[in-house]
Amino acid sequence: GRKDAAVALDGVIDVISTALTAGNTVTLIGFGTFGVKEKAAREARNPRTGEIVKIKASKAPYFKAGKGLKDQVNK
């Protein structure tokens, strides 16, 4: 039922999160790929004050939809 689906989904999310934290990508065939992109350190300007601020390097999770999901959405 609904409770079992929620438990299963929580398990899948935990596995994906753990893999991304370890620097791995996760591909679900026909659905898409979860991964992590490295963002380099950079300088940016605060639009309010004009002050230049340094933004440290970081990592950002991403999701890229697979062909099967794109085709399903565009039916």
Q: Residues 56, 40: contact at Cβ < 8 Å?
A: no
Chain segment 2-58, per-residue pLDDT in tens: 999 999 999 999 999 999 999 999 999 999 999 999 999 999 999 999 999 999 999
DSSP 53: E
CB neighbour list of residue 33: distance below 8 Å, 6 or more residues apart: 25, 26, 27, 63, 64, 66
Torsion of CA 37, 56, 15, 3, to 10 degrees: -110
Residue 1: the pLDDT is 86
Residue type, 25: T
Residue 69 pLDDT > 90: yes
